[in-house]
Amino acid sequence: MVSKIAQLEALLYLAGDNGIESENLCELLHVEQSALGEMATKLTSQLKANVDSGLQVLHVNHNYKLTTRPEVSKTVTSFFQRDLTKTLSQSALEILAIIAYKQPITRIEVDQIRGVNSSSALQTLIWRGLIKVQGKKDVAGHPNLYVTSDYFLQYFGYQSLADLPLIEDFEVNEINADGEIDLFTTKGQADKNLAKLPKGE
């Protein structure tokens, strides 16, 4: 049987940069605050003692999150700096399309649409300046809300979000063999179509 500490680690991994408030963790793990504190301390010690782990647990303002350790900061920084020169991956473009059409949207909502964790690609998009955090959703945990940036419009040559192609307007020949469409190859919708774009709930 998986231990509570393993469950805690998994939850913090899934939560990404947002982390999880201690109250929500207690509810998810069915433990008291004191027990959660002990578990977090033990997980912190385990990660610190493991020279093969580059992760640590942070506890800030009743919020727990899993982050990279200071010892690996040089490598992590190099990764993001190198990534700035790369073209966007298919997964990053997929996430960017979801945010563009459903903004404002939380990471959990993006994950639900994609079916996989989006934390890493979200960070890449933030570092690239294509998306940004704009407020928090008024639900338990108050997760960050992500929206596209002005640089997103500049990057893809749009003047406004109204220029995003409407999905129903794609031609059959714009759909690839996997049934996917590139949302950033077609432009030029009138501003009046902006109202038709699906919004986050």
- CA 158 centroid distance within chain: 23
Predicted local confidence at residue 42, as pLDDT: 96
Strand 63-68 with 20-21, pairing: antiparallel
In SS3 terms, 129-153 reads as CCEEEEEECCCCCCCEEEEECHHHH
Q: How many CB atoms lie within 10 A of CB 109?
A: 20
Residue 155: predicted pLDDT: 77
Question: How many whole angstroms separate alpha carbon 73 and alpha carbon 188?
Answer: 42
pLDDT in tens, 38-89: 999 999 999 999 999 999 998 887 889 998 898 988 887 776 665 554 577 7
Which of 11-20, 71-80, 95-104, 167-176 has the lowest average pLDDT? 167-176
Query: Two tokens at 180?
Result: 């996917």
* Whether residue 104 has a cis bond before it, omega within 30° of 0: yes
Residue 68 host element (H or E)? strand 63-68
Question: Which tens digit of pLDDT belongs to each residue from 166-181?
Answer: 765 544 444 444 444 4
The overall longest dimension of the chain from CA atoms, in Å, is 59
Per DSSP, the three-state class of 51 is: coil
Q: Please indicate, yes or no, whether the overall pTM of this predicted structure exceeds 0.85.
A: no
51 burial level (CB within 10 Å; 0-12, 13-18, 19+) = exposed
Beta bridge partners of 56: 67
Distance of CA 148 to the CA centre of its chain: 13
pLDDT band at 184 (very low <50, low <70, confident <90, very high): low
Percent of the chain scoring above 90 in pLDDT: 37
**What tokens appear for 137 in the block?**
């959703």
30 three-class SS: coil
